[in-house]
Amino acid sequence: MMQTKRSLHLEKQPCVLEDDIKNAFDVKPSASIYYGRYPYKVVFDNDIVNQNIPDNMGMKEFDHDLYFEFRDFAGNFNDIYKIMFNNKRRIYLSDYQDFDTTISMYGDWIGEIQGPISQDHLELLYSTDLNLVVKSTPWYNKYEYKMELWASYYAIRNLWLTNPASITSTPTAKTQWKNQMQDELENFLETLMSQDFDTRINSSNYNVYFNATIFFVDSDYKDIITFKKLLVPDYRYKITKVIT
């Protein structure tokens, strides 16, 4: 059972950030289409913005006025947007033209921009099989993927219901199905190690509650997913790919 990403609510695929924007601003790849509908994120530089707060005005009052200033400014936008001024001042935008207009208006205050940086990156943002994280280096300077496995309520319930001995809900019955799930996970991890996959397995936690974290490289992706589906089909999992 895959933990799927947030559903998307975009009528059309967004545009990739243009080179002139990448050259003019500090641009980072986005880890998602934010809230399922905003491909572009503009983060203000708080230090620069704070320098523009009048001496007779508090920060909260300034942010209140800035919020409504932007709302008026965005009155003719083609699409939707979201403003968040808690801790960091940031604006999420759905339409590329609205995004371009925003950075033209507030360019001197912008500290960072996040969005699709290439067509390949954009396709990853639309993937339902992967979560993304932006890091300066891969995990352990080597692994592009991280798979987290855990025994979901669904998996435990199915095993309980299909095991006649567990109907009594006795301590012995509960121990039996817990041991079975533990054996399944251990078998899966041992299979990965016996196949000489290029992996790193963090197993310190799975003895406690049937959890494991596996780091691996792109060339082993398909084979590892196949083994997961065969050997631990009822375990929930989340796969995260690092974008450097």
Reported confidence tier of residue 232, pLDDT bands at 50, 70, 90? confident
List the domain boundaries for the chain: 19-126, 145-243
Reported confidence tier of residue 2, pLDDT bands at 50, 70, 90? very low
Helix (H, G, I), strand (E, B) or coil at 6: coil
Of the listed ranges 76-80, 114-118, 155-159, the one predicted with least confidence = 155-159
Within 13 Å and on the Cβ side, how many CA atoms surround 82? 13
pTM (2 d.p.): 0.78
The predicted-structure confidence for 122-140, as pLDDT tens digits, reads as follows 999 988 788 999 999 999 9
> DSSP string spanning 88-138?
S-EEEESSHHHHHHHHHHHGGGEEEEEE--SHHHHHHHT-SS-EEEE-SS-
Nearest by Cα to 101 from 125, 121, 68, 79: 79
The predicted-structure confidence for 212-230, as pLDDT tens digits, reads as follows 899 999 999 999 999 999 9
Q: How high is the pLDDT of residue 67?
A: 94
- How big is the chain, counted in residues? 244
Q: How high is the pLDDT of residue 209?
A: 47
Q: What's the topology of domain 145-243?
A: Alpha-Beta Plaits (3.30.70)
State the Cα–Cα distance between residues 212 and 148, nearest whole angstrom. 6
Q: What is the mean pLDDT of residues 99-112?
A: 96
Residue 179 confidence (pLDDT) above 60 = yes
Q: What is the rounded average pLDDT for all residues in the chain?
A: 86
Q: How many CB atoms lie within 10 A of CB 42?
A: 23
